Amino acid sequence: MTRMKKQIGGTSRGGLCVFMASVTVLAIIAVVVALLMFPGAALPADGIRATARTGHEVRQSQVVAYCPAQMALADSEKYGDVQFQASEGNITSSALYSSFGSVYKARVGSLTDVDGVNGVGRELEGNGSYEGPSVKVLSDRGNAKSSILVSKLLNSKEGTGSVAAVGSWATSGDLKGVSAASCVSPSLESFFLLPATAAGATHQLIVANPSEKPTTLHLDVWGTKSGRPLALHTGNTLTVAAHHEANVDLSAGAPGQDGLFVKVTSNEVPVAAVVRCVLLDGLSSKGSDFALPLGEPGTSQVLAGVGQGDEVNVAVRSDRAADAEIFWTRHDGEESVRKVHLEPGRVSVTDLGRAGQDVYGVSVRSDAPVQAQAQVGDSGSDGSADFALIPAARQAGRSAVAVPGGMNGVLSFINASNSAVEATVHGYDVKGGSVGSQQISINAHGAQVVPMSDISDSAVLFELESGGNLAWGVRVGQQDVSSANLAAVAYLSATGLEPSNAQIFSEPTRMTVR
């Protein structure tokens, strides 16, 4: 009996083991099949931390600005009789470099020594203020070469950045008049609107590469005759070596247009680009200026710096079909001037005639994003002329303008919003010291001008603190040119004092392996 029980018990336990083994095998097979059919169902390596989302703020630590060389003729070679040769005359120039806010070091150098390894550059000197704004400044006269301003930031906050400008003027030769440009930051893409490419016009694209790597640029160009891109006679690509400049004549590449829109794209590294525009009519100088990169497309484009008696035309361009309306901007509001229909890609140039009394700017509003630029001009007593290219303003709450030595001017403000805006303008001298300020109030869609001397006779740097975004800049001239009864027209755009900050988030997935 006992023996029989043992046999029965042994058989029962053996069957149970076989049964459990079978169930385990089936369970393993089921899991494997599920994993093969649904790989996303895999468990995370760290079930607790896999759902944790972490963020990190990236702050701009350096600001770079490229300042072009003084205005020059694209071809300085001498041909034929002396009286028929092109001449740069008595061209001279000046530059003013500055940094605002939380900047521990700012240095001006050459393109071939951006980091100061060769010790060629000069450092900006500040006011050493711990109570008021910290401003570092360097003034340079007579240096005809291009330069790079590099500012190292302690803290990337509003009110911090670099502001610089160059100016050129002449009372003789083919560059009579005044030219000026605010210095520009490198970017992967730049957009330009340029004057007509008629006989006697030279639009020389100048590209500076401050990086350690060479890059190839692609040039996309549109004109006023159709919305199709143009194949440039000079080619649609340009190679720029590391720490070097390269140039191409866009007017020779696309002749016979009433205006050009140019997109410059760098394949490898950010580059700084400007266009040197010179207009001649036979032996008569018709002015020169720098075309600077345009801001982002928008349905409201504001162009400050227009003055009474200016001959004004406005170039507008959109990627798609749009209807736009152009307004004169006066002290107390706007006046509609013209309505235009824009074909996709095609540049539209509208002649507005002479600006009347109390006109300080132009506004363009549209039902699709556009980019716009004004060309304003005046004539001298000897038949010569001068012009300025005014791009739509990049509006910011904190911004500044540097006015190079030897130049004078008027600050021009436009309020494009639907309500009044109050702001304060601060002036600083060539040593970075605060020399005056003035509060301004501008009506909705209105404008206001303030002579530089109203802030202070010694003010050369102007900073705007605004409760709302204003479009502004400085319309500049030069006393020697004006005393010679020559036209003197130039404009300096404001530069934003708002460094770039970004919040970067990372979140592991269930497939993350730790």
What would the 3-class secondary structure string for 480-497 be? HHHHCCCCCCEEEECEEC
pLDDT of residue 282: 81
Which residues, 6+ apart, have CB-to-CB distance to 488 below 8 Å?
169, 177, 178, 378, 386, 477, 478, 481, 482
pLDDT of residue 25: 41
- Contact yes or no for 62/115 (Cβ under 8 A): no
Tokens of 300: 């409201």
DSSP code for 392: P
- Contact yes or no for 66/272 (Cβ under 8 A): yes
- Contact yes or no for 273/146 (Cβ under 8 A): no
pLDDT of residue 384: 86
pLDDT of residue 249: 95
* d(C-alpha 423, C-alpha 398), whole Å: 10
Nearest C-alpha neighbor of 430 from the set 182, 141, 168, 169:
141
pLDDT of residue 245: 97
Give the three-state DSSP class for 252: helix
Nearest C-alpha neighbor of 103 from the set 182, 147, 58, 163:
163
* d(C-alpha 54, C-alpha 67), whole Å: 40
Give the three-state DSSP class for 49: coil
Tokens of 8: 């029965």
* d(C-alpha 508, C-alpha 245), whole Å: 44
Nearest C-alpha neighbor of 122 from the set 156, 87, 97, 94:
97
pLDDT of residue 87: 84
- Contact yes or no for 203/260 (Cβ under 8 A): yes
Tokens of 408: 């004078």
- Contact yes or no for 340/389 (Cβ under 8 A): no
Q: Which residues of the chain have pLDDT under 70?
A: 1-60, 76-85, 115-120, 127-133, 499-514
**Phi/psi zone of residue 353: left (φ > 0), alpha (ψ -120 to 50 degrees), beta?**
left
pLDDT of residue 53: 64
Residue-wise pLDDT for 413-445, tens only, equals 999 999 999 999 999 999 999 999 999 999 999
φ/ψ of residue 115, rounded to 5: -90, 0
